[in-house]
C-alpha cells in the first residue's frame, strides 16, 4: 500500500492532534509488570521503566504505551475492576510523570481497562487511553474517557482472559465479520457515552480471545476493517501464534513480517516491543525515515 492509498485521519488526543495515514507510526510497549507474557519484571521499577521508555523514543517510537497489569491468557484481569487498582496505579503513574517531565513533547498512552487508572494517568500526562476491553470490563470507562477528552483505543476482546482457552472456536470465514461487528458495537457505545468520533481508534485484538488459526484469518482479512472508517492500531508483537519458539528474537522477526502485512492492509499504528526492528520493517514497507 502506498502512503496515498491509506485513509488519512487527524486523531484528536488530549492536547494535540496526531496526523495518521501519511506513513505508519510505531508505538513502543513499556510493561511495568512482574508477569507480562514477554517482558514481565524487566522494567518493574520507575527508574528502569522511564529509562526504557526514553530509549524507545530515542530509537524512533512515535509514542509509548505504559501498562501496569498483565492481560495474558489465564489471568484474572477484568473479573473485578477494583481489585489491585491501587497497585496498577502505583506502577504506572510515576512512570508517566517521569516520561513527560523529562520529555515534555512525548506522546504517552496508558494501557488500562480501569476508569480510575485512566483518569489518574491522563491527569499525569497521558494523551490517550488504550483499553483492551473496549470499555466492557469497567462500565465507567467510556464516560470517563469522554469527560477526559483524550484519545481512545477501542480493542475487540472476546470474553475474559480466564475464559479464553475454553471458548468455542470461530470458523475462519467468520472471524473478520465477528471482529468488525464487535468493534462497530463498541464504537457505537463510545459515541453514545460522549466520546467524539475523531478521538477514537480501533484495534482488532490479536490474541484476545482468538486462537492461533483465528488470528491468521484475522490478519488475512484485516483490510476489511477499513470499513469502520477509523484509525487502525494493531498489536501483533511477540504473540504466540506467530512462532512456536518463545525466543524474543524469533518472535520479533515474525512480528515485523506480520506488521508489514498489517501496514499494507491499512494499519496506521503498530504496537511493538522491538522499536528498532519495527522502524526498519515500516521503512521497508511504507515509511520515510
* Alpha carbon separation from 220 to 53, 81, 146, 210, 249 (Å, rounded): 31, 34, 33, 14, 24
First-to-last alpha carbon distance for the chain, in angstroms, is 17
* Alpha carbon separation from 210 to 161, 169, 205 (Å, rounded): 11, 8, 8
Active site residue 16: no
239, 264, 287, 288: the catalytic one is 239
Strand partners, 272: 28
Active site residue 271: yes
Q: Which residues of 119-132 are buried (b: 16+ CB within 10 A; e: fewer)?
A: bbbbebbbbbbbbb
Q: Which residues of 237-276 are buried (b: 16+ CB within 10 A; e: fewer)?
A: bbbbbbbeeeeeeebbbbbbebbbebbbbbbbbbbbbbbb
Tell me which residue has cell 492536547.
15
114, 186, 271, 287: the catalytic one is 271
Catalytic sites, residue numbers: 239, 271
Amino acid at each position: 500500500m502506498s502512503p496515498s492509498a491509506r485513509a488519512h485521519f487527524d486523531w484528536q488526543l488530549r492536547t494535540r492532534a496526531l496526523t495518521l495515514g501519511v506513513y505508519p507510526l510505531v508505538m513502543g510497549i513499556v510493561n511495568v509488570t512482574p508477569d507480562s507474557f514477554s517482558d514481565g519484571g524487566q522494567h518493574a521499577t520507575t527508574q528502569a521503566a522511564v529509562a526504557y521508555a526514553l530509549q524507545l523514543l530515542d530509537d524512533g517510537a512515535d509514542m509509548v504505551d505504559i501498562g501496569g497489569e498483565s492481560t495474558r491468557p489465564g489471568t484474572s484481569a477484568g473479573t473485578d475492576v477494583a481489585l489491585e487498582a491501587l497497585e496498577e496505579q502505583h506502577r504506572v503513574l510515576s512512570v508517566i510523570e517521569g516520561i513527560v517531565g523529562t520529555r515534555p513533547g512525548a506522546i504517552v498512552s496508558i494501557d488500562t481497562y480501569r476508569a480510575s487508572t485512566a483518569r489518574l494517568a491522563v491527569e499525569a500526562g497521558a494523551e490517550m487511553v488504550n483499553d483492551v476491553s473496549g470499555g466492557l470490563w469497567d462500565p465507567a470507562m467510556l464516560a470517563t474517557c469522554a469527560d477526559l477528552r483524550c484519545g481512545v483505543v477501542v480493542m475487540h476482546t472476546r470474553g475474559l482472559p480466564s475464559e479464553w482457552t475454553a471458548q468455542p472456536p470461530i470458523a475462519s470465514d467468520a472471524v473478520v465479520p465477528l471482529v468488525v461487528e464487535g468493534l462497530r458495537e463498541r464504537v457505537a457505545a463510545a459515541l453514545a457515552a460522549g466520546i467524539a468520533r475523531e478521538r477514537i481508534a480501533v484495534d482488532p485484538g490479536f490474541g484476545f480471545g482468538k486462537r492461533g488459526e483465528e488470528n491468521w484469518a484475522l490478519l488475512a482479512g484485516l483490510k476489511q476493517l477499513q470499513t469502520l472508517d477509523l484509525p487502525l492500531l494493531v498489536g501483533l508483537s511477540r504473540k504466540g501464534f506467530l512462532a512456536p519458539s518463545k525466543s524474543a528474537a524469533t518472535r520479533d522477526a515474525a512480528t515485523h513480517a506480520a506488521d508489514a502485512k498489517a501496514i499494507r492492509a491499512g494499519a496506521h499504528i503498530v504496537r511493538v516491543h522491538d522499536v528498532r526492528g519495527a522502524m526498519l520493517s515500516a521503512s521497508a514497507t511504507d515509511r520515510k525515515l
